[in-house]
Amino acid sequence: MDAKSWLRKALGRGVKSPQRKSLPDGVWLKCDGCAAIIYRNELMRNLWVCPRCGQHMKVGAAEYVALLTDDGFEEEIAAGLISADPLKFKDSKSYKDRVKAATAKTGLEDAVVAGSASIDGVSVALAVMDFNFIGGSMGSVVGEKVARTMRAGLERGLPVVIVSRSGGARMQEGILSLMQMAKTAAMAARLREARIPFLSVLTHPTTAGVMASYASLGDVIISEPGALLGFAGPRVIRDTIKQELPEGFQSAEFFLEHGMIDLIVPRTKMRETVGRVLRHLAAPAPVAGE
Amino acid sequence: MLNPLSDFERNVRDLQAHIDELRNIAAKKGDGDAQVVNAALENLVSQTTHLRSRRYANLTTWERVQVARHPERPHTLDYVDMIFSDWVELHGDRRFADDPAMVCGLARLNGRSVAIIGQQKGRDTKKRIHRNYAMPHPEGYRKALRVMELAQRFHLPIVAFVDTPGAYPGIASEERGIAEAIAVNLREMAVMDVPILAIVIGEGGSGGALGIAVADRVLMLENSWYCVISPEGCASILWRTPEMAPAAAEALQLAAPQLEKIGVIDEIIPEPAGGAHANWKEMAAAIRDRLQAHLDELLELSGAELVQRRIERFSSVGVWHEKEKSS
């Protein structure tokens, strides 16, 4: 299967496929871990994990939906939400232009895609973040789409899976971005009351406002190996404590060692692991609307 | 960083010194002279007040940030002392430690028992270090949650005083799960069935502030700020230098009047002429009045209604465009 039809399949029926891919073009790709030059199709078959060094390459949302689900999205959730510019924010570039550039670069409407899907045979409400869209940052649209994904799970009695990959809250929407943390956490509270399983999958990198809200609230939290996880960015910490950070600090392995996550699972085992966990938690199937 | 208010404050302080000097002279001189001196005194006093009000009526966003951080501004425990009675401080998260950057306890507001949580700044260098500059570690948020759960169990309203540059970004914070501690507070505060009032008294720095501010009513003092990131942090990232903090503060719209316009806070409590630090008692009295008024309204609601409205409030925040559905 060529990359294009594979992407189309990933996004499922009736869902517009992104115009551009988040990985560089070309038949050969360089691993961001060991710098080995690898045949694109070989990488793709290995779910964008380097066959030489095991590096989990930073893939876009479309690729991740494809590798995690059985058959892409069945139906998109909260499609058509576009970032506004409530603060008329401008630094070296206006926020409006940043959103436009990100849309052109990724073909996405914002930094998360969501839909109903099947993972290893289990029906779920799924949201997957994309780092190429302004660092996967959470503004109003990301917060709303994540919240609506959770609401879909609540209303349809579907387990919720959220794959995070984000630098944190989106500065350009100021306080409104901060409030998305409360919004998504409130929905997580509702899921918890309703005993709907919520699984949080962490990928490289997941930090700050996203880590300090829904990404940390999964009933089960699974990370890809080697992912950078944390509250503050390493640079901020280094500037605060004025000393070098220990090796492996803020990695998925560091989080596991300190009891903050349940599991580290390689991408090649992610689909079956998510399926196995959900089958434990969702059996017997809850009755919707009860 | 240079404080743009310091020149102004120096001038006011000089005026104040003149006033004190004249008072001394008046006290020593005879009656006739005293009348002349007193007239001059009155003139100076009214000039000072006028200067202060005029200066503080036209603060830039960046200047407001400076007022919010003013070293003489009242801190959480100062307000606890001035507004409440019967204070009992409660320590520790029962998991790891007691965090002096977060204070918690029980007290009475006009006779009614409430639980209080809040970040605490220090007044001098030694105390500032002890309080870790009001930047809590995970155990601070977990202590706050423990006391909030206690409040919920005994039907006590919760009052949160927000005053932090942010949660502490350090190795120990990450080791003990600062992100998880804040996230859990956000989730649990959303569904507490007792009234929660939050008031930003100085700095509302990011998740570290929100971690105790998922409330039914969010109030702000006139010269406080509340934002997703500090102006310095934003400037470092987007402008690549913290020197651009004044521009970042403007762009982020983090001052109380701007936030009221955006609609994420419920009320601004005006500060006395010259800011909260110029008149602690007047500031405390105003806060007491507004806390009581909001609490009276919230106490009319059942626990279920409170939770329903609180979730609705935070669920509806955000601005976006929605494309028409194509099919």
The pLDDT tens digits for A181-215 are 999 999 999 999 999 999 999 999 999 999 999 99
* Mean pLDDT, range A69-84, rounded to an integer: 97
* pLDDT at residue number B3: 61
Output the domain CATH number for residue A245.
3.90.226.10
Amino acid making up residue A82:
I
Domain-located, residue A287: no
Name the domain boundary from A57, A77, A107.
A57
Chain B residue numbers with beta carbons less than 8 Å from the beta carbon of A108 are none
Q: Are residues A178 and A227 in the same domain?
A: yes
E-strand ranges in B165-259 read 196-205, 217-221, 225-227
Interface test with B, best of A112, A164, A171, A175 (most B CBs within 10 A): A175
Provide the β-strand partners of residue B282. Answer: none
* pLDDT at residue number B39: 83
Task: Tell me the pLDDT tens digit for each residue of A215-225.
Answer: 999 999 999 99
* Mean pLDDT, range A215-241, rounded to an integer: 92
| Residue in A125, A181, A288, A176 with CA at minimum distance from that of residue B190 | A181
Domain-located, residue A16: no
Mutual angle of helices B178-190 and A174-193, in 10-degree steps: 70
Q: Are residues A89 and A219 in the same domain?
A: yes
Q: Are residues A183 and A269 in the same domain?
A: yes
Q: Are residues A53 and A80 in the same domain?
A: no
Q: What would the two tokens of residue B131 be?
A: 């309080």
* Tokens 């960083």, residue located: B1
The verdict on A176 touching B (C-beta cutoff 8 Å) is: yes
Q: Domain range for residue A241?
A: 58-282
Judged by DSSP in three states, B81 sits in helix
pTM, full prediction: 0.92
Q: Are residues A129 and A48 in the same domain?
A: no
Residues A254, A232: Cα–Cα separation, whole Å: 15
Q: ipTM score here?
A: 0.92
Report DSSP letters for A150-164, one per residue.
Answer: HHHHHHHT--EEEEE
Q: Are residues A234 and A134 in the same domain?
A: yes
Task: Tell me the pLDDT tens digit for each residue of B88-144.
Answer: 999 999 999 999 999 999 999 999 999 999 999 999 999 999 999 999 999 999 999
Q: Are residues A106 and A62 in the same domain?
A: yes
* pLDDT at residue number A13: 44
State residue A175 phi and psi, 5-degree precision: -60, -30
Does residue A242 surpass a pLDDT of 80?
yes
Domain-located, residue A8: no
Determine contact, residues B235/B256, Cβ cutoff 8 Å: no
The verdict on A193 touching B (C-beta cutoff 8 Å) is: yes
Residues B184, A192: Cα–Cα separation, whole Å: 12
Q: Are residues A192 and A214 in the same domain?
A: yes
Residues A33, B135: Cα–Cα separation, whole Å: 36
Q: Are residues A120 and A107 in the same domain?
A: yes
| Residue in B188, B187, B172 with CA at minimum distance from that of residue B139 | B172
Q: What would the two tokens of residue A147 be?
A: 């919240």
Task: Tell me the pLDDT tens digit for each residue of B259-283.
Answer: 999 999 999 999 998 999 999 999 9
* Closest B-chain CA to A76: B325
DSSP B278: G
Provide the β-strand partners of residue A124. Answer: A117
Contacts of A215 (CB under 8 A, 6+ apart): A162, A164, A166, A200, A202, A206, A221, B179, B183
What is the rounded (10 degree) CA torsion for B197, B203, B208, B212? -10
H or E segment to which residue A44 belongs: helix A40-45
**Cross-chain Cβ contact B233/A232 below 8 Å:** no
* pLDDT at residue number A4: 46
Cα-only R_g, chain A: 18
Residues B176, B180: Cα–Cα separation, whole Å: 9
**Cross-chain Cβ contact B190/A144 below 8 Å:** no
Domain-located, residue A12: no
Fold of the CATH domain B66-316: 2-enoyl-CoA Hydratase; Chain A, domain 1 (3.90.226)
Q: Are residues A222 and A166 in the same domain?
A: yes
Domain-located, residue A210: yes
* Closest A-chain CA to B251: A89
Does residue A17 surpass a pLDDT of 90?
no
How many domains is chain A partitioned into structurally?
Answer: 2
Q: Are residues A79 and A156 in the same domain?
A: yes
* Tokens 């109380």, residue located: B256
Q: What is the mean pLDDT of chain B?
A: 93
User: Which portions of chain B are predicted below pLDDT 70?
Assistant: 1-5, 29-32, 325-327
DSSP B295: H
* Mean pLDDT, range A123-139, rounded to an integer: 98
Q: Are residues A183 and A107 in the same domain?
A: yes
